[in-house]
C-alpha cells in the first residue's frame, strides 16, 4: 500500500480549536441573486414606483410593437439566463479522447486533484469551487477516487452524490465534471502544466502532492512550484495551508508571468510546461484558507458559506437514505419520516491518538454520549417545540458488544451488511448514506477532531436549523462540562 495514503487519512485529525455553536441560517448566497433581491431603501421607493409605472407603460408599448414583430422567429430567447448555467454550453460536444479538443476557445477553466479520505475530498472540491468563483473560471470537477473503502472500487462522480444543477444555480456558475470533457475510456495521455502548492507549504515531501487522479484521467502533468508566499501562515509556523487569494492571483496574467520558473518535467513525456492558461490547475487544495487554517470548522468559513452549504445531496441518494431510515425506525408507509437525532462516533484509526490509554477509556463512553443526547432533546424542545425520541447511530466501530450496548439504549442504526447495501448500490454507499443520515438529523452529535463530524454539524446547522454538540475524547472525563 502506498504510504502517502496512510498519511492522508490522518488529515482527519485537526488541531484543537475553539468551539462555537452560532446558528447559521440557510441564506443562499450568490453575488447575482443578492443584487436581484436587495431591498430598495424607503427613500427610493417613490422614485422606483414612478419608474415602475413608466416601465409598465413602455413595456405595454413594446408589447404592442412585439405583437407586430414577433411573427418573425428572431425573438430573443428570454431563457438565456437559465442556459448560461448549462454545462454543455462550455464544452464543444461529447467527451473526447483528448480533453483539449473539447475545451471552448472563449472559456477559461479551473481544476484540481484529490488525495485523502472522502470527507476531506469533499472539502477539497468545495475549495476548488470557491476558487472558481474568485477567479471567474468554469470548474471541472474530477470523480471521487476510493481511499478508505479499498482501492479496487471504481471512482464515483461528483454529480452522483451532489445535486449539481442546484449547486450551479446557487453559485450562479456552470459546473463541469471531467467525464463530460474527456472520454473515461480514453487511452490517450494528455500533457498539462499545473501549479504545485505542496512544496511551498510543507517541507517533508520534495515533490508535488501525489494523487491517483492523474492516472485515472490519463494526464501527464508538468508542475511549476508556486512561490513561497502562497503559504497562509508565517514560514516558521508548521502548517500546510495556503491562502485563497494568493492562489487566485496566479490565475491572472501579471502574477502568473512574474512567478514562472523552471517546471518539473512531466513523468511520462518528460515535457516541461508552464502552468496552463486556459485550464488552470493546482496539485492539492485541501489545505486552503482565507484567514485561518481548517476554516470549515469556523463560522465565517467562506468555502462553506459561498459553496459548501449549497452542496446538497442528489435526490437519488436522499431517497435511498430515507428508505433505510424509515426501515430502521420501523415507520409504516402512511407515516412521514419522524425527526431524529443523528450521532457520528468515529473510532477506527482514531485509536492512533489514544497512545497508552485503553480504548474504552479513550473514546467517549455511551453514557457520555447519552448525556449529549439529553441536552439536544432539551434544546430542540425549548427552541423548536420538537419532542425527538428517535436516535440513529453511525460509526465505524466493529465490536458487536458496543453495538448491542447502543441497542440497549433504545437507539438504532443501519445494518449495511444485513441490508446488502454494497451489493445493491456499490461500496461507496454505506459511507454516503451515513453522511446523509448525519446531515438529516434535527440534532447531531459528532466526534471531536473528525472532519466528517465537522461537515455534518455544519449541514445540520445550515439545513435543519438543528441542535449540535461535539463530544470530546482522548481520556476519561474529556467531555466533562
- Which spans of this chain sit near ligand NAG (rule: CB under 6 A)? 105, 330
Smallest separation (angstroms) from ligand NAG to the CB of 43: 48
Nearest CB to ligand NAG, comparing residues 279 and 288:
279
| Cβ contact 279:192 at 8 Å | yes
Q: What span, in angstroms and rounded, lies between the C-alpha atoms of 468 and 440? A: 12
- What's the chain's Rg over C-alpha atoms? 25
CB of 319 to ligand NAG, least distance (A): 21
**C-alpha of 16 from chain center:** 22
Give the sign of the dihedral formed by CA 154, CA 159, CA 163, CA 167: positive
Alpha carbons 163 and 181: distance in angstroms, whole number: 19
Of 17 and 337, nearer to ligand NAG (C-beta) is 337
Nearer to ligand NAG, 102 or 115 (CB): 102
Q: Least distance to ligand NAG from the beta carbon of 276, Å?
A: 16
CB of 340 to ligand NAG, least distance (A): 15
The x, y and z cell numbers of residue 209, run together, are 502532492
Minimum CB distance to ligand NAG, residue 401 (Å): 21
Nearer to ligand NAG, 9 or 107 (CB): 107
Phi, then psi, of 328 in degrees rounded to 5: -65, -35
Nearest-approach distance from CB 174 to ligand NAG, in angstroms: 18
Minimum distance from residue 309 beta carbon to ligand NAG (Å) = 36
**Residue 189 or 331: which CB sits closer to ligand NAG?**
331
Of residues 258 and 330, the one with the C-beta less far from ligand NAG? 330
**CB of 370 vs ligand NAG, minimal distance in Å:** 21
First to last CA, the chain: 41
Q: Which is nearer to ligand NAG, 72 or 330 (CB)?
A: 330
Q: Are 183 and 97 in contact (CB under 8 A)?
A: yes
Query: Across-strand partners of 194?
Result: 223
**CA–CA distance, 398 with 332 (Å, rounded to integer):** 30
Alpha carbons 145 and 162: distance in angstroms, whole number: 15
Nearest distance in Å: CB 105, ligand NAG: 4
| CA separation for the pair 311, 2 (Å, rounded) | 31
- Distance from the Cα of residue 70 to its chain's centroid: 45
Q: Smallest distance from the beta carbon of 72 to ligand NAG, in angstroms?
A: 26
Neighbours of 436 (CB within 10 A): 24
Least CB distance to ligand NAG at residue 330 (A): 4
CB atoms < 10 A from the CB of 76, how many? 6
Of residues 105 and 152, the one with the C-beta less far from ligand NAG: 105
**Smaller CB separation from ligand NAG, 101 or 191:** 101
Nearer to ligand NAG, 204 or 330 (CB): 330
* Cell reading at 167: 449547486
Phi and psi at 384, nearest 5°, equal: -125, 0
**HSE-up of residue 197 (Cα within 13 Å, Cβ side):** 26
Which residues make Cβ contacts (< 8 Å) with residue 286, sequence separation at least 6?
A: 11, 114, 115, 116, 120, 121, 123, 124, 127
In sequence order, the 6+-apart residues with CB closer than 8 A to the CB of 98 are: 182, 186, 188, 190
Residue identified by cell 492562489 is 247
> Is residue 264 within 8 Å of residue 274, measured between CB atoms?
no
Q: Closer to ligand NAG by CB, 74 or 105: give it.
A: 105
Amino acid at each position: 500500500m502506498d504510504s502517502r495514503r496512510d498519511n492522508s487519512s490522518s488529515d482527519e485529525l485537526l488541531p484543537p480549536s475553539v468551539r462555537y455553536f452560532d446558528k447559521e441560517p440557510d441564506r443562499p448566497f450568490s453575488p447575482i441573486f443578492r443584487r436581484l433581491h436587495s431591498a430598495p431603501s424607503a427613500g427610493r421607493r417613490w422614485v422606483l414606483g414612478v419608474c415602475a409605472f413608466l416601465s409598465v407603460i413602455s413595456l405595454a408599448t413594446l408589447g404592442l410593437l412585439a405583437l407586430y414583430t414577433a411573427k418573425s422567429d428572431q425573438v430573443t430567447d428570454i431563457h438565456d439566463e437559465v442556459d448560461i448555467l448549462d454545462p454543455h454550453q462550455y464544452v464543444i460536444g461529447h467527451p473526447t479522447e483528448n480533453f483539449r479538443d473539447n475545451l471552448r476557445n472563449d472559456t477559461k477553466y479551473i481544476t484540481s486533484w484529490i488525495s485523502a479520505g472522502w470527507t476531506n475530498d469533499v472539502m477539497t472540491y468545495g475549495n476548488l469551487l470557491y476558487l472558481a468563483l474568485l477567479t471567474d473560471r468554469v470548474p471541472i470537477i474530477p470523480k471521487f477516487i476510493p481511499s478508505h473503502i479499498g482501492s479496487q472500487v471504481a471512482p464515483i462522480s461528483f454529480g452522483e452524490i451532489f445535486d449539481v444543477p442546484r449547486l450551479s444555480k446557487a453559485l450562479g456558475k456552470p459546473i463541469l465534471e471531467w467525464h463530460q470533457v474527456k472520454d473515461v475510456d480514453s487511452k490517450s495521455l494528455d500533457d498539462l502544466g499545473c501549479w504545485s502548492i505542496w512544496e511551498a507549504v510543507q517541507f517533508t515531501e520534495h515533490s508535488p502532492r501525489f494523487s491517483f487522479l492523474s492516472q485515472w484521467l490519463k494526464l501527464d502533468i508538468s508542475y511549476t512550484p508556486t512561490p513561497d508566499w502562497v503559504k497562509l501562515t508565517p514560514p516558521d509556523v508548521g502548517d500546510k495551508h495556503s491562502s485563497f487569494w494568493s492562489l487566485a492571483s496566479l490565475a491572472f496574467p501579471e502574477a502568473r508571468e512574474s512567478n514562472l520558473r523552471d517546471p518539473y518535467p512531466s513523468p511520462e513525456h518528460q515535457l516541461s510546461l508552464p502552468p496552463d492558461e486556459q485550464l488552470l490547475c493546482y496539485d492539492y487544495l485541501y489545505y486552503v484558507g482565507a484567514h485561518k487554517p481548517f476554516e470549515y470548522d469556523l463560522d465565517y468559513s467562506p468555502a462553506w458559506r459561498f459553496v459548501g452549504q449549497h452542496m446538497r445531496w442528489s435526490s437519488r441518494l436522499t431517497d435511498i437514505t430515507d428508505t433505510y431510515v424509515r426501515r430502521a425506525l420501523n415507520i409504516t408507509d402512511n407515516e412521514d419520516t419522524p425527526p431524529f437525532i443523528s450521532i457520528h462516533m468515529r473510532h477506527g484509526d482514531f485509536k492512533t491518538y489514544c497512545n497508552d490509554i485503553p480504548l474504552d477509556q479513550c473514546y467517549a463512553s455511551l453514557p457520555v454520549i447519552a448525556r449529549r443526547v439529553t441536552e439536544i432533546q432539551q434544546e430542540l424542545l425549548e427552541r423548536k417545540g420538537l419532542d425527538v425520541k428517535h436516535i440513529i447511530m453511525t460509526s465505524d466501530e466493529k465490536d458487536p458488544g458496543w453495538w448491542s450496548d447502543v441497542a440497549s439504549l433504545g437507539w438504532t442504526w443501519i445494518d449495511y451488511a444485513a441490508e446488502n447495501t454494497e451489493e445493491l448500490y456499490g461500496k461507496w454507499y454505506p459511507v454516503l448514506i451515513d453522511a446523509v443520515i448525519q446531515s438529516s438529523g434535527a440534532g447531531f452529535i459528532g466526534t471531536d477532531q473528525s472532519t466528517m463530524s465537522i461537515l455534518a454539524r455544519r449541514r445540520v446547522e445550515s439545513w435543519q436549523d438543528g441542535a449540535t454538540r461535539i463530544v470530546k475524547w482522548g481520556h476519561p472525563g474529556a467531555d466533562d462540562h
